[in-house]
Chains A and B, each alone.
Chain A
Amino acid sequence: MKGFKPSAPILLLLPAFVVLAAVVLVPLLLSLYSSFTPFRLTRPETFFVLIGFRNYVSILSNLDFWYAFGRTVLLLTVALNLEMLLGLGLAMLVEKATRGQRILRTLMMFPMMFSPILVGFQFKFMFNDNIGLVNNALQSLGITQDAIPWLIESHLAFIAISIAEIWSSTSIFAILILAGLLAMPKEPIEAARVDGCTPWQTFRYVTWPFVMPFAYIAMTIRSLDVARAYDIVKIMTDGGPAGRTELLWTLIGRTAYSDARMGLANAMAYFSILLSIAFTVYFYNKLAAARAQIGAEW
C-alpha cells in the first residue's frame, strides 16, 4: 500500500504532462535556441548560426522595446485592477437579484463569448472617428461638434484600448467571484448579522476573505491570458499611431512576421514570457495565502 499511493496522482497527471511536453515544451526549447541565432524567416540557413547573447543585448539597448514594455505593464495594471473591481461589483449585483438570475448570469457572460479579435473590430467600429457609435452619440447629444480622434491620438487610443480590454474581461472576474459567492456557506453571514455587524463589516471580514481565493483564481487566469490584448491592439490601432500604442506582443509580431527577424523576436518573446511568469507567480502566491486564510486544505 505504501508504495502504491504516490503512483496514483502521477498516473492521473500523466496525460496532461505528455500533451504539454509535446505541444509546449519542445517548441519552447526550439524557440529558446533560435533566440541565440540571427534566424530570419527568409534565410533558413541562419538557423544554425550561433551568435550568443547579441539578440538580447540589442533589444535591451532599444528604446522602442522599453517603451513597449512600460506600456504593457501600465495597460495590465490599469485593466486588471478595474476588471477586478467592476467584476466584484457586477457579481454582487447579480447575486442580490431575486428574479431572472439565470438570464442575468448569461448576459453577464456575454462579453466572454466575443473573440478578442471580434472585440477589437467591434471597438474599432465604435470608436471610429467618423462613423463610430461613441462619436455619433457625443455629437447627437451636443457634447462636442468635433470628430474626436479616438484611435489616432495616442492617449485617447490607450483609453480606447483599455476600455475594450476591460469590457471583454470583466465577466471572467464576475463569473468566478459569483461562483464563490454562491458556494459560500450562509451561516457565517447570518452569524455576523446576529452579532451586530454592519453590512460593510460583514462584507469586509466574512464575505471578502471567502471570495478572495476565487478572485485570485480569476486574476491568475487573466494573468495567464494577458496576451489576448495582442489581438485587440493588433486590430484597433496595430501599434500605431507611429508606434505609440505598441505593446510587447505587437512588437514581437511585427519583428517576427513583418521584418522576418525570428531570432530577435524570440528573444523579445522570452521577455514577455518572463513578464507573464512574474504575474502568474505573484497571483499564485496570493491565492495560496488567501486559501490558507480561510483554512482550505492544501
Chain B
Amino acid sequence: MDENASARLMRRALTVAHRVGLFLAMLLICMPGIWIVLSSLRPTVEIMAKPPVWIPQQLSFDAYVAMFSGIGKGGIPVLDYFRNSLIISVTSTVIAVAIGMAGGYAFARYRFRGKSGMFLGLMLTRTVPGIAMSLPLFFVYARLGIIDTHFGMILAYVALNIPFTIWLIDGFFRQVPKDLAEAAQIDGCTRWQAFWQVEFPLARPGIASAGIFAFLTCWNEFALASQLTRSVNSKTLPVGLLDYTAEFTIDWRGMCALAVVMIIPALTLTYIVQKHLVGGLTSGAVKG
C-alpha cells in the first residue's frame, strides 16, 4: 500500500516536472519572438526608455502603417519584397522537392556503382559557404545577364536545396520497408504505381519536412541574395531588412515590424504542412 502511494507520488512529481520543463523550454524558445512582436507595437520612446518600461503603456500599429505607406514616408517597398520572396521561395521549393524525390528514391532503392561516393559528393556541394559562393556566381550571372531576376535566384536556390532534399527524402524512403512496394508489385502494380500508391504516402512526412526545410532556407537566405539582387525586381525580404539600417542608427521598431511580416507566412505554412510529420512512418504497416 505504502509502496503504491509513493509510486503514485513519484509519478505525479515527474508529470509536474515534465510540464514545468516543457513550459520553460517553450518560453525560452518564444521569448525573442514575443519581444519582437511587442517591440514592433511600442513607440520608439518606450523601447529606448531608461529605466525600462516593462508593461507596455501604449500599443499602436504605427510601424506597420509607416512600412506599407511607401517610399519617402519612412516606408520601404515591402509588398514588392514580399512578392519576390514568395515567388522565388515557392518555385524553387517545388522544383527542389521534385528533383529531390527522384534523387532520394534512386539512392534509397537502387544499388549502383559509386553510390556512396556520389552521395557524399552531392553533400559536399552544399558545404560551400554562401559568402564563398556569392562572387563566382555573380560573375557567371553577370555574363548570362540573369543578375537581379527571379530566374537567377530560383536557379541558385534550387541548387542550394537539392543536396539537402535528396538527403532527407532518401532517409525517409529508407524507413519504408521494401517489402511493401514489392508486395504491391506482386499484386499487379507497376513500379510507378507502387511508388505513388504505397511508398509515396508512407514517405510523405519526410517529403513534407524536406519541403518545409527547403522553403525556410529560401525564405531566409541572405548571403547570396544580397549579392545577386539589386532592386525591387528581385530583392527578397531578408535583403529588404537592411533598408532599415541605411543610416547610422537602427530603426528597431520598423525592423521588428518587418520581422513579424517575414515570420507570419513561414509560421502559417509550417503549421499547415506540419500534420504530415505526425505519426510513425511505418508502424502499423509492418505490424499487420
Contact = CB atoms under 8 A, between A and B. Distances in A.
B281 A183 contact: yes
Contacts of A63: none
Given A20-B159, A140-B54, A230 B131 contact: yes
A115 B219 contact: yes
Nearest to A122: B32
A94 B21 CA distance: 10
Nearest to A171: B29
B71 to A, nearest CB: 21
Interface residues of B, number: 97
A97 B29 contact: no
A221 interface: yes
A285 B10 CA distance: 42
Nearest to B38: A133
Contacts of B209: 175, 179
A115 B274 contact: no
B127 A276 contact: yes
Interface residues of A, number: 97
Nearest to B161: A19
A30 interface: yes
A242 interface: no
Contacts of A217: 167-168, 171
A1 interface: no
Contact of B220 (A115, A125, A133): A115
A6 B286 CA distance: 29
A92 to B, nearest CB: 10
B259 A118 contact: yes
Nearest to A39: B135
Interface string B23-47: 0011001101101100100000001
B110 interface: yes
Count chain B CB atoms within 10 A of each CB in A94, A115, A133, A296 and give the residue with the most.
Answer: A115
B61 interface: no
B267 A113 contact: yes
A105 B274 contact: yes
Given A23-B159, A230-B129, A230-B131, A179 B99 contact: no
A211 B43 CA distance: 47
A264 to B, nearest CB: 12
B70 to A, nearest CB: 23
A253 B215 CA distance: 26
Main secondary structure of the interface of B (DSSP, over half): helix
A111 B220 CA distance: 12
B275 A221 contact: no
Interface stretch (A7-15, A50-58, A74-82, A150-158): A7-15
B66 interface: no
Contacts of A139: 51-52
Interface string A244-274: 0000010011001000001001100110110
Interface stretch (B1-9, B112-120, B181-189): B112-120
A131 B163 contact: no
B106 A8 contact: yes
B46 to A, nearest CB: 10
Interface in B103-154: 103, 105-107, 110, 112-113, 115-116, 118, 120, 122-133, 135-137, 139-140
A297 interface: yes
A122 B256 CA distance: 8
Interface string A93-125: 110110001101111111111111110011101
Contacts of B13: none
B164 A20 contact: no
20 contacts: A9-B110, A23-B155, A27-B139, A94-B22, A97-B18, A106-B270, A113-B220, A116-B220, A117-B220, A121-B241, A125-B39, A131-B47, A139-B52, A140-B51, A182-B277, A231-B222, A269-B129, A273-B128, A277-B127, A280-B124
Interface of B: 18, 21-22, 25-26, 29-30, 32-33, 35-36, 39, 47-48, 50-52, 54, 99-100, 102-103, 105-107, 110, 112-113, 115-116, 118, 120, 122-133, 135-137, 139-140, 155-156, 158-159, 162-164, 166-168, 171, 174-175, 178, 205-206, 209, 212, 216, 219-223, 237-238, 241, 250, 252, 255-256, 259, 262-263, 266-267, 270-271, 274-275, 277-283, 286
